[in-house]
Amino acid sequence: MIPEHIAIIMDGNGRWAKKRSLPRVFGHRQGVKTVKKIVKSVSRLGVKVLTLYAFSTENWKRPKTEVDALFSLLSRFIKKDLKELSDAGIKLRILGDLSKFPQDLKSEILSVCKDTENNTDLELNIALNYGARQEIIKVFEEMLKQGIKKPTEEIVSSFLYTAGQPDPDLLIRTSGEFRISNFLLWQIAYSEIYVTDKLWPDFTPKDLEAAISEFQKRDRRFGGI
Ligand code: FPP
């Protein structure tokens, strides 16, 4: 079975650049190329939701030049590449708090989300200024506001950024680190985790197929026997 939802922690852009004695931003630029290839191949494979971890709430700690470079890559991706992807039936959703974002980038993002809202081939979630603990706090706040005293799993899920989407079946992390890094803590309760040593800029559609094929061999019991 093809996973319905794949989530990816795209790690290793900095190391990719360092290996070539290039500035880190070159690694991010190469990373965007990988994003485009992987989005297309995921869509071709019939995956319904793809979630990419592009910028965490902790990434603000990076030097301003790197943060600015990441924002400019994202902005270009959203303006230019997503327009193309949208014609290919992709629907964009942002997971995260956009309030701290530059106003022009925020408007671009919201306009692409609106323009693609009726697309049905692939839902592309981009996690931006995202942190799973912050997301869960947001759920608590919403429940308090609405006076919900008896939360259920369904109620909690309905207040997450991923409301209405299936949880990830497969979580991929590149560059060999065995960490979750504050990503989708609630949603990955039963996800299969796949870690590859490949750095994100080197990750190919073939590597994606290898991850899916490993996933297909796993025996998912969801706590049963
Ligand atoms: C981790 O590599 C990667 C990031 C923090 C940013 C990921 C962003 C992109 C791939 C580009 C923009 C995304 C989209 C969706 C267009 P790292 O810098 O932490 O690498 P390192 O651990 O080797 O230093």
pLDDT at res. 86: 77
Q: How far is CA 36 from CA 14, 92, 151, 203, in A?
A: 19, 14, 39, 11
pLDDT at res. 88: 78
pLDDT at res. 194: 98
pLDDT at res. 81: 86
Where do the structural domains in the chain lie, given as residue ranges? 5-131+167-217
User: Cβ(38) to ligand 1 under 6 A?
Assistant: no
User: Cβ(94) to ligand 1 under 6 A?
Assistant: no
User: Other C-beta atoms within 10 Å of 152: how many?
Assistant: 9
Q: Measured between alpha carbons, how far is 127 from 15 in angstroms, rounded to an integer?
A: 21
Show the low-confidence residues of the chain (pLDDT under 50): none
Catalytic residue status for 59: yes
Quote the ligand 1 centre to 161 CA distance (angstroms): 21
pLDDT at res. 39: 95
Q: How far is CA 88 from CA 23, 64, 82, in A?
A: 33, 34, 9
* 61 CB-near residues (< 8 Å, 6+ apart): none
Please answer whether residues 62 and 14 qualify as being in contact, where contact means their C-beta atoms are separated by less than 8 angstroms: no
For a substitution probing ligand 1, which of 8, 9, 11 has the most ligand atoms within 8 Å of its CB? 11
Fold of 5-131+167-217: Undecaprenyl pyrophosphate synthetase (3.40.1180)
